[in-house]
Structure formats: structure tokens, C-alpha cells
């Protein structure tokens, strides 16, 4: 079965190191909690809000695991919505898995927890 795994995080400042570290921490937790193997990944889509301009968040994927060299990744800009969460990085990772929809661990860090308060208890 192919399923989507969601993640989001925020950074305090528009700095390359913060963007890469926050994205790597989120991706690492997504991969670990869901036992995702790079060979099972179909694609990874990463968006960042328009106020994050210092680096591509996708660089984190290449930094945090060596076996992700051939995983297709695309960065894009998140919609600029009035009242939206600033300095936010979102991920949609699509992979083959045997997990049921309700057993998938979506990962929300920092201020991004506000995006899905219904999942907050699951990941404390």
C-alpha cells in the first residue's frame, strides 16, 4: 500500500543551519517512528513559507541519512496565506508501507503543532 506521511516544523530565524537542523529532526522522527526504508519512498515534497530564503530545506534529507541519495525530492514555496504560520516547513513523504492509515505517525514540531492539534497527544 502507498501512504502519505506528514510532517511540519518551524524555525525561529531564517538561517540555513536552523532550517536544515529543524527539517532533519522532523524527517528523522518521521522515518524512525514509521520504520520507513529509503527503498520504499516514492517521493518527498517539501514546502517552506516565503519568509524562509536562506537554503533549500531538502538539503536536510541528504544530510541526515546517506542511503537517501536516490530518493526523489522537490522543494516548493508554501502559499502565503494571511494569518498563516510563519517560518514553517512542511513535508509530504509518500512511501510503500503495511501501516494502516490510523497507525501512521505524522510529526509536528515547534509551532507547527498548532497545524494539527488533534494529533498533539499522539506525539508527546
Active-site residue identified among 3, 88, 90, 110: 90
The two counts, helices (H) then strands (E), for the chain are: 2, 5
**CA-based torsion, 112, 91, 20, 26: positive or negative:** positive
The answer on pLDDT for 17 being more than 70 is yes
The yes-or-no answer on residue 75 being catalytic is yes
pTM of the prediction? 0.89
Percent of the chain with pLDDT over 90: 72
The yes-or-no answer on residue 6 being catalytic is yes
Has 90 been labeled as part of a binding site? Answer: yes
CB 19 within 8 A of CB 118: no
The yes-or-no answer on residue 96 being catalytic is no
Q: 2-123 architecture in CATH? A: 2-Layer Sandwich (3.30)
User: In this predicted structure, what is the pLDDT of residue 119?
Assistant: 66
Q: What is the pLDDT of residues 47-79, one digit of tens each?
A: 999 999 999 999 888 777 778 888 999 999 998
Q: How many CB atoms lie within 10 A of CB 49?
A: 21
Domain-wise residue ranges, the chain:
2-123
Active-site residue identified among 21, 62, 65, 111: 62
Q: How many CB atoms lie within 10 A of CB 8?
A: 24
The answer on pLDDT for 105 being more than 80 is yes
Q: How many CB atoms lie within 10 A of CB 35?
A: 11
Active-site residue identified among 21, 29, 65, 116: 116
Active-site residue identified among 21, 29, 65, 75: 75
Q: Of 3, 6, 13, give the one whose Cα is nearest residue 27.
A: 6
Has 6 been labeled as part of a binding site? Answer: yes
Q: What is the mean pLDDT of residues 106-120?
A: 78
Alpha carbon 92 to chain centroid, angstroms: 6
What torsion, rounded to 10 degrees, do the Cα atoms 99, 116, 48, 60 define? -50
Amino acid at each position: 500500500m502507498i501512504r502519505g506521511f506528514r510532517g511540519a516544523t518551524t524555525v525561529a530565524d531564517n538561517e540555513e543551519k536552523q532550517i536544515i537542523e529543524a527539517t532533519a529532526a522532523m524527517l528523522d522522527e518521521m522515518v524512525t517512528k514509521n520504520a520507513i526504508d529509503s527503498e520504499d519512498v516514492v517521493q518527498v515534497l517539501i514546502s517552506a513559507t516565503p519568509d524562509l530564503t536562506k537554503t533549500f530545506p531538502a538539503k536536510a534529507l541528504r544530510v541526515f541519512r546517506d542511503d537517501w541519495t536516490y530518493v526523489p525530492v522537490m522543494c516548493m514555496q508554501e502559499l502565503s496565506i494571511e494569518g498563516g504560520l510563519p517560518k514553517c516547513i512542511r513535508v509530504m513523504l509518500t512511501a510503500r508501507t503495511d501501516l494502516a492509515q490510523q497507525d501512521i505517525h505524522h510529526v509536528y514540531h515547534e509551532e507547527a503543532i498548532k497545524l494539527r492539534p488533534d494529533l498533539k497527544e499522539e506525539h508527546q
